[in-house]
Structures are given as C-alpha cells and as structure tokens.
Amino acid sequence: MSTAEPVATDKPIGPRSRKGALTRARLLEAAKAIFERDGFLEARISDIAEAAGLSQGSFYHYFESKEEIFREVAEIEEEKLSARSIVASGLLDESVDMTMRERIRDANSRFLTDYRDEARIMGVIEQVSRYDERVRTARFARQTYYVERTEAAIGSLQRQGWADRQLDPKIAAMALTAMVTRLAEAWFVHGQLECTLEDGIEQITTLCVNALGLHEDSQPARAHRLRLR
C-alpha cells in the first residue's frame, strides 16, 4: 500500500456548492463500490471516476489520492455501524417501551444486519487498517469514544441496581465491545461461523445480558443511552 504523502495542490477545501457536494457524494459511493470489488491495492482512481460518471481530472478536484478517498469511505462506514451498535439501544431511555433484553436484542439485530450488508467494505477496511496509520488511528479513536460511553452507562446501570455491581465498568465495556465487533468480523468477513442471523443475534444477546448480570424483564427508570462501540 502506498504511504506517499499527498502532493499539495490548490484544490478547494470541500465542495463549495450543492452540485459540488452531490458530485463528491457520487465519488464516495463509486469509490466504495470499486474498493468492494477490487480491494484497496487493485482499485484505480480511473475506475472510481468512471463509475461516478466523471473524468479522472474531476476526481482530483475533490480528492488528492486514492488513500484520501478511502479514508473518508472508511470513516463513513465506521460511523454508520457505530450508530447501529448495541450501545445505540437506548438501554436506559425511559421513552422506549422495551425490556432490557429486548433493547439489547434490537440493537444487536440492527448492528449485525448492517455489518452483514456491509461485510465486503468492512473486510477491506480491516485489511487497510493494519497498514494505514490514519485509518487505524481513526478507528481506535471512535472505538475509544464508544467504550467510554459504555463504561459510563454500565456504571449507571450498576448504581440503579440493574447490572452486576462486581463488574469493573471499563473492563466490561471493552470486553463487550470486542465480543460484538469481532464476532461480526469473523462471521461475515471471514466466514468462520455458520448459523442463521436470528440464531446469532439470540446467542450474542444472551451473552450480553448474562455478562452484565441484567434482569431481563427490567425497564430502566431514567433516560440515558448505553453505547457499546
């Protein structure tokens, strides 16, 4: 993978018009499709431009390199999946009329379904993150943010008597984060698990509930959002 720094240009910082924003979005969508099809190393800027219906010169009006557009594609995908993680279940949100187990199951279902649907690009992101420090650093920062939110939420659950008070919130948050995200990678990217989506969701939900020592039929009393990635 190339590690060359982008050459400085007089390229404007971001699109300056609605048309420019739409064109940039087309390039990002096209880039995702090409990276999924060819992987990072084999993907070509000319193919991305062609898939977007643009000239190669137009590509350089918005992005300086293949690395730059890949990093943005990766950021978009990571953020989308983060919003679908177990932590986005509103576990302590009193406005959600579901038990704790139902909330965790709903979040797991959304996250795992989305990861399955995005497995091709996630596989490429996983590979590139081993070599591209900026991709790796961005992923780590986002994961750290959600782990910290999870840690705080687990502490809140413990104070309210919903979760096992013997748990260390930070260790529990990191362990649950790793369990859910790495299961998704092993299952959908590497094909190491053979089961139905529903069975997988049910099993990972049971593991989460048991790990936190939650009372499955309990409903939290205060608004708070548990984040797990």
Do 146 and 35 lie in one domain? The reply is: no
Q: Are residues 121 and 162 in the same domain?
A: yes
Say whether both 90 and 185 belong to one domain: yes
Rounded CA gap, 74 and 11, in Å?
A: 22
Mean pLDDT, the chain, integer: 84
81, 147: one domain: yes
Q: What is the pTM of this model?
A: 0.80
Query: What is the domain-level CATH number for residue 127?
Result: 1.10.357.10
CATH code of the domain containing 25: 1.10.10.60
pLDDT above 70 coverage of the chain, percent: 81
Same domain for 47 and 105? Answer: no
What is the average pLDDT across 44-64?
95
Please tell me the total count of domains within the chain.
Answer: 2
Residue 42 counted as domain residue? yes
Q: Out of 20-34, 104-118, 139-153, which region has the weakest mean confidence (pLDDT)?
A: 139-153
Tens of pLDDT, residue by residue over 165-187, are 999 999 999 999 899 999 999 99
Domain span at residue 30 reads: 18-64
Task: Tell me, yes or no, whether 43 and 76 share the same domain.
Answer: no
Domain boundary among 64, 96, 119: 64
51 and 97 together in one domain? no
Q: Has residue 162 been placed in a domain?
A: yes
User: Tens of pLDDT along 130-170?
Assistant: 999 999 998 888 888 888 888 888 898 899 888 999 999 99
Do 142 and 41 share a structural domain?
A: no
Q: 10 Å Cβ neighbour count for 172?
A: 21
Q: Any idea of the CA torsion for 35, 37, 41, 45, to the nearest 10 degrees?
A: -60
Sign of CA dihedral 35, 36, 39, 44: negative
pLDDT at 215 over 80: no
Are 104 and 198 found together in one domain?
Answer: yes
